[in-house]
Amino acid sequence: MADHARGAATSHRVELMLQELESLPTLSPVAVRLLELTADDEAESRDVIDLVASDPALASKVLAMCRCHERGRADNVTTVDRAVLLLGFEAVRCAVLSVQVFDLIDGLPGAKRTGESVFDRELFMLHSLACAVMSEEIVKAGTGARAIRPSEAFMAGLLHDIGQLVLHVILPESFDQVCRFAETHGASLDHACRQIIGLDTHTAGKRLAEHWGLPAPLVDVIWLNGQPTAALPRVPHRTLISVVTLADAIVRRRYVNAGAHWTGGESLSALCVPVGITMDAVDNATASLHDRVSQRATALGLAEEHDPIILLRSICRANESLARANAGMRQRERVAQQQATMLKELTRFHDTLPVGLTNLEALARIAGSIASLLDAPVVATLYQGRADNWHLVRLTTQGRVVGSVTLEPPADAIGFDVLAREVTVTADVDTLMPWLSDYLPTGTDLAPMHMLPLPAGAHATAIFLLLGTPDGDLLRGNRDGLVRCWQAALAAAAQHDRTAHLTEELAVANRTLMETQEALAHSRTLSSIGEVAAGAAHEMNNPLTVICGRSQLLAQRIQDPEQRKMAEEVSTQSHRLSDMITALRSFAEPVEPVLIEADIPELVFRVVQRYGPPDGRQPQLNTILTESLPAARLDPDLVGAALGELIRNAVESKGCEHIELRVQTDRLDDRLRLEVRDDGEGLTEHALQHAFDPFFSARPAGRQPGLGLSRARRFVEAHGGQLTLVNGPAGGAVATIWLREWRVSEPRERDAA
Amino acid sequence: MGKNNGTTSWAAKQVFTTGEAAEVCNVSQQTIIRCFDSGRLQGFRVPGSRFRRIPRAELLRFMKSNEIPTDALESQTKRVLVVDDDEQIVELFEDLLGSDERFEIKTAATGYDAGLLTEQFKPHLILLDFMLPDINGNLVCERIKANPDLQDTKVLIISGVVSQDEMSKLTQSGADGFMKKPFDIEKLVMNMEELLQLA
């Protein structure tokens, strides 16, 4: 789009210039008339001859020209008539036209501009004249250009670069710029013209020639000269164009180069071919070039200075050009040297970069690279870590990390991202982050420090603090490659850091998973016990049924009371065995508590009645209800059974004399706490670990099979509660049921109850 | 087949002559013949003769619809079908109940046998084990309860299973009672008496 806009602006400007060309004055009536006349119509040329003769100034110039033109043959040409007679109408016509054209341009406003201009008019005129003479000589000497009249070749050579003159006249400043550009960059004038003005000299010249109604061969020469022969379009005057191109090349290389342009192009010998001239002939023609040119210049009134002086000026010009070219080359060499330094550093940095750098290592390496490239030590690096904290990493001059601290920037500090994004490469630390001195060693002066931000994506941005003013060129100019490399290293380190962090998180997750799996395995163990029990239940219950039934039948039939009691005992024990199978079986099933509103004191009373020791016997059980508890929402059967198991456990514990049952709500989180504390021996480590395993018993024998605590825990956990068993501080064991969300939440239910 | 203690043994009889039917119903033979001929009592004639015969079920229907007490037809002993695949348990039941004159016992070891015997034996009560080798007890129970001819048959399931899931299946199957293995034999007999209205 920008190209489009620029293109449009350029073409608009070109159009304006062309209009200005159109508005230039046209040729005088004499010239116009001359152009109208064909060479072979001598009779009608009478008017023109009279016209020229009637203008003494014009007549004298024309005569002078004619004399120079045909020196030796026409020395005695004194009148226009005679000139026409001796030289032919065509020669006279050319002379008139030449004089007219240059007079006209001389008469243009701005043509005689004062002040320094890169474009040297006189040199240009000299060049044009030399070209004209050379063209004429070529036509005379060449075999391929016989059809062309020498005077026509002269004319063409004289006017071939008129475009330059025109642009110089109408756009003096721009054209100066063009000349300078072409010289500094070693570009062709036309290329420079197109770049800066948007219109080249040949096109401008062509337009002017058309405006003036110059003959078609001249227009073509002005338009197409300088182009390689092979590139010329199929115009009728190709040979003439080639002649002028050759003449121009010869003059540029051997005589005078005007317009400050050098078009390398084809070699002279190559240019000779289409014209049909040998290099020897060219050399011959060149030999007398100086004299002829000065004669012609005099005839045209151009040679105000002597030829050697003009040559001297030409040499001076060439020297100036050379100096400018040298300066350009020096500049380029400097850039190339910088690039080489950059490239060397890039290679070194890249080659020594190991995989898997940590953030700090990467920062240190980049700092080293920056320091060696810019010749300014990096004292510290600001770094934005994973958690958006700022870190300050201090470095030694050798690029070693001294230490890293987390920064706490003041509230009004400029945001890190803003700094990293918008700060210029050599911004002052002093003005942007004065608070930073708090984190640097006492006495550190921020004033000589400068910042070099290196943004490398989210959570991978660093700002390097340099001591001293770095070479601005190195930073501003061609640092892209190296900076990208630094950025890549920083980003990679950040990525590595993130990966490491993720790995840590993964490890934590794995640990949690392992613990969960252990818990699951435990509950699976219980479940599989249940599964086994379920399968066994059927198998075991049938023999039990037989034992039980038979023993009962037996008991009915036995008369002896003692024997009958034995039979009855068989039956009782088989029932117990069956109950155990049932209990075991229940591990395979989820416990689904039926939550109802229950009175806690009543529940506790019932449990103590059922599981507690009979009154007056050891151990003693004290029940403490510390407060008046509201009704609770729970399954009284399950909670009762669980509490009963705890009491039974305490009663059976060795050395127990007193049991305390305490029911209260926890002050911290309002959990309901049912605590059974005994003064027995407490539990061993092993017992604590396995207390909730089915069938575990701390005592080797003489204890009821222990499904108790295991079941109790299931019942409590079914309520979303917890059952804990620990050794009390004063000895003995403390078993506690904790229930959450036990309160009857909705008042309406309480009312209904 | 258990021995019948009484003078008549109508209980096991499946087809009745008009004379027998008259005795059961305590009416004259002529009344029975009239009812047979008018179609109010349906039956068949012995092929190749004119002898009338009345199937037991039709006789029962006739007696009930005419409000004739069926006591004579029904024996006082209760037919009990014991279904269990465990031989020892079957023997235990036979020992326990066989000596009780109130019960007439038959046994089956599979669901299939149970079905066949139910049709044939018309038990008053089935003691049904839940875990049978072919089909589960609850299905047997469902079939029996779905049969209108067997609506008077009671089912007492005796099982070692305890899970809530299986319990709910059993109650859904329409069983009249449930006892857990191993059982108290006195409680079992009490349960049976209750179901058979013997107490």
| pLDDT tens readout for residues A195-227 | 777 778 888 888 888 877 777 888 888 888 877
Chain A residues within 8 A of B165 when measuring between CB atoms: 589
- Contact predicate A494/A460, CB 8 Å: yes
Chain B residues within 8 A of A544 when measuring between CB atoms: 181-182
Q: What is the Cα–Cα distance from A525 to A584, expressed in whole angstroms?
A: 12
CA–CA min distance B162, chain A (Å): 7
B17: Cβ contacts below 8 Å, ≥ 6 apart: B51, B52, B53, B54
Contact yes or no for B89 and A550 at CB 8 A: no
Q: Do A253 and A151 sit in the same domain of this protein?
A: yes
Q: What is the ipTM of this complex?
A: 0.70
Q: What is the pLDDT of residue B125?
A: 93
Contact yes or no for B96 and A578 at CB 8 A: no
Q: What is the pLDDT of residue A1?
A: 44
- Is the pLDDT confidence value at B150 over 80? yes
| pLDDT tens readout for residues A444-486 | 777 777 777 777 776 677 888 877 766 655 555 555 677 778 8
Q: What is the pLDDT of residue B108?
A: 93
User: Does A495 reside within a domain?
Assistant: no
B26 and chain A in contact, CB less than 8 A:
no
Q: What is the pLDDT of residue A267?
A: 74
Tokens found for residue B97: 């109940």
What's the structural domain count of chain A?
4
Query: What pLDDT band is residue A174 in, cutting at 50, 70 and 90?
Result: confident
Q: Phi/psi at A394 (nearest 5 deg)?
A: -90, 145
Q: What is the Cα–Cα distance from A515 to A502, expressed in whole angstroms?
A: 20
- Is the pLDDT confidence value at A732 over 80? yes
Q: Do B61 and B149 sit in the same domain of this protein?
A: no
What's the structural domain count of chain B?
2
SS3 A403: strand
User: Does B4 reside within a domain?
Assistant: no
Cβ of A178: how many Cβ atoms within 10 Å? 31
- Is the pLDDT confidence value at A259 over 50? no
Tokens found for residue A563: 């024997």
DSSP A126-159: HHHHHHHHHHHHHHHH-STTTTS-HHHHHHHHHH
Q: What is the Cα–Cα distance from A602 to A710, expressed in whole angstroms?
A: 25
CA–CA min distance B188, chain A (Å): 10
- Is the pLDDT confidence value at A499 over 80? yes
Q: What is the Cα–Cα distance from B130 to A389, expressed in whole angstroms?
A: 71
Q: Do B125 and B172 sit in the same domain of this protein?
A: yes
- Where among A302, A323, A344 does a domain terminate? A323
Give, to the nearest 10 degrees, the angle between helix A172-185 and helix A162-170: 120
Query: What pLDDT band is residue B83 in, cutting at 50, 70 and 90?
Result: very high
Q: Which domain holds residue A413?
A: 357-477
Q: Do B31 and B114 sit in the same domain of this protein?
A: no
Q: What is the Cα–Cα distance from A738 to A632, expressed in whole angstroms?
A: 13
Average pLDDT over residues A672-685: 86
Give which of A444, A440, A455, A456 is closest to A403, Cα–Cα.
A440
A636: Cβ contacts below 8 Å, ≥ 6 apart: A596, A598, A603
Q: What is the pLDDT of residue B7?
A: 45
Which of A53-62, A199-208, B16-25, B101-110 is the least confident region? A53-62
Tokens found for residue B115: 């079905």
Q: What is the pLDDT of residue B32?
A: 92
B133 and chain A in contact, CB less than 8 A:
no
CATH number assigned to the domain comprising residue A142 = 1.10.3210.10
Q: What is the pLDDT of residue B5?
A: 41
Residue at A558: amino acid letter:
I
Which of A137-141, A362-366, A522-526 is the least confident region? A522-526
Tokens found for residue A208: 């002017």
- Is the pLDDT confidence value at B164 over 80? no
Of A301 and B82, the structure prediction assigns the larger pLDDT to: B82
User: Does B2 reside within a domain?
Assistant: no
Q: What is the pLDDT of residue B6?
A: 42
Interface of B with A in 160-179 (CB under 8 A): 160-165
Average predicted confidence (pLDDT) for chain A: 76
Q: Do A147 and A220 sit in the same domain of this protein?
A: yes
CATH number assigned to the domain comprising residue B49 = 1.10.1660.10
Chain A residues within 8 A of B162 when measuring between CB atoms: 537, 582, 585-586
Q: Which domain holds residue B57?
A: 10-65
Q: What is the pLDDT of residue A509?
A: 86
B131-168 burial, b for 16+ CB within 10 Å, e for fewer? bbeeebbbebbbbbbeeeebeebbbbbbbbbbbeebee
Q: Do A233 and A138 sit in the same domain of this protein?
A: yes
